[in-house]
Amino acid sequence: MASNNIKIHQQCRVAPPSAPQTSLPLVFFDMFWLRFHPVERIFFYTLPITHSNPSIFFTQVVPKLKTSLSHTLQHFPPLAGNVVWSDSSSKPVVQYTPGDAVSVVLAESEADFDHALDNAPKEASESRCLVPHLESLDSRASVMALQITLFPNRGFAIGISTHHAVLDGKSSTLFLKAWASLCKTNDDHSESSSPTPSLAPELEPFFDRTVIETATVFGSSSSIDNLFSKLLSDEDSDPRCLKLLSFHPKLEDHARGSFVLTGADLDKLRNRVLSKWDSVDIVEEESNSNSGVSSKPTKLSTFVLTCAYATACIAKAWHGVEKEKNKFCFGFSVDCRARLEPPIPENYFGNCVWGHLVDGKPSEFIEEEGFVIIAKRIHSKIKQMLDESVFHGADTVAPRFIALVKEGIEMFGIAGSNRFGVYGIDFGWGKPSKVEIVSIDRAVTIGLAENRDNKGGVEVGVVLKKPVMKLFGTLFYGGLSDE
């Protein structure tokens, strides 16, 4: 799917019908991501021939998508706005002003749709032409951009790019579920004559930022600002610059692939870890003397097993190809909505995630029992967080991250979740045939989603150098057959 296989039919703008000016302050959860790269996802949908014919698609399907998008933006007006930072404000805000709109690209692809749906590794660059560019300038940054691409007589793709400082994965998925709901259940009315249809209560966004009290989390706002200044520093730009930092996609000589763990695979991995829990010793370093591994649990989550297994396989594959690459670390974000005091609504719209670094020696990932060791580490970090606080050790995250980067230790991250329910997002033509997190190619990030065809399973997306990808696939599926 090289860019020359894409034909752009139209670049238009879609606005809410009559939303008033709104302004949302960015809280400390949002500020962490202020200049982070956009989150980019693609949803592929198979269509019957009657709807995927170009003349029908662009005259019937696209108008329905655009009209329902406009109606959805009436409930989510910040998504049509921009991140701005006025001279009179100490923090940036998300501002929607009547006349603001979401950029929507309408395109057509000559690529093989079945190839796009295939999980097998392919050129990392192939997905890039299906996601839109998210505009960001020094003084202003768009919140969301969309691209709708037809694969004639087969199906279509919705590519979405979102500003991470405005919404996290849960909020982004809430919007997509709301859009799909209105597209599926409401007739195609004109934007000017139809009242805005209502959403189910669980799909209505909750925008009130006063439910998050900064001071009760860290003790002082100055400590938070100090934390962000370390993570977001850019000596070459104004402190108020809103232009997203360059996280260039890793495309040359890289492959993108999706790997599936079924429920049975996860049971096998779970039994392996639990059976070796007491026999696989973990040596604590002095710097991590308070990170002791917890006692053997009765169960292990899909998240723990998937992250540990995928990162161990990546590390061993990378080390197998490049011997000098032997030190790794893993960080993950936790949804804090239910973990704040008091808990905040599940449909809170914005960022409400906090990052944690997993304790341990950087060489543990490539040890023979690396999977078991890392599973124990992640489980213990999560248990510590639940027993003490989701923000336990928050003041040490930034300095530790900086130190690890300076040491040349490769950092693994996570995008998405197997709990978002992305494969239930049906616009009226059936559930997605595939969902892909494209932006994992901007760092060493693992994309997670529930498995479309297997209840309890999980899909793992990775972008790796081609020789590393080949060895990773061998280790990933070979390890599932070992007992």
Burial (0-12, 13-18, 19+ Cβ within 10 Å), 219: exposed
Rg (CA), the chain: 22
* Contact yes or no for 139/242 (Cβ under 8 A): yes
* Contact yes or no for 291/359 (Cβ under 8 A): yes
Q: Which long-range contacts (CB under 8 A, 24 or more apart) does 52-55 make?
A: 52/150, 52/151, 52/152, 52/153, 52/154, 52/155, 52/156, 53/152, 53/153, 54/108, 54/150, 54/152
Other residues' Cβ atoms within 10 Å of the Cβ of residue 241: 18
Cα dihedral sign for 356, 136, 116, 456? positive
Other residues' Cβ atoms within 10 Å of the Cβ of residue 411: 15
* Contact yes or no for 80/120 (Cβ under 8 A): no
* Contact yes or no for 280/376 (Cβ under 8 A): yes
- What DSSP string runs through 21-58? PEEEE--HHHHTTTTSPPEEEEEEEE--HHHHSHHHII
User: Annotated catalytic residue: which of 164, 254, 319, 356?
Assistant: 164
* 107/130 Cα distance (integer angstroms): 9
User: Annotated catalytic residue: which of 188, 335, 395, 426?
Assistant: 426
Q: Is 368 helix (H, G, I), strand (E, B) or coil?
A: coil
**Residue 238 appears among annotated catalytic residues:** no
**Residue 164 appears among annotated catalytic residues:** yes
Other residues' Cβ atoms within 10 Å of the Cβ of residue 363: 14
Strand ranges for 230-305 from DSSP E = 254-261
Query: Catalytic site residues?
Result: 164, 426
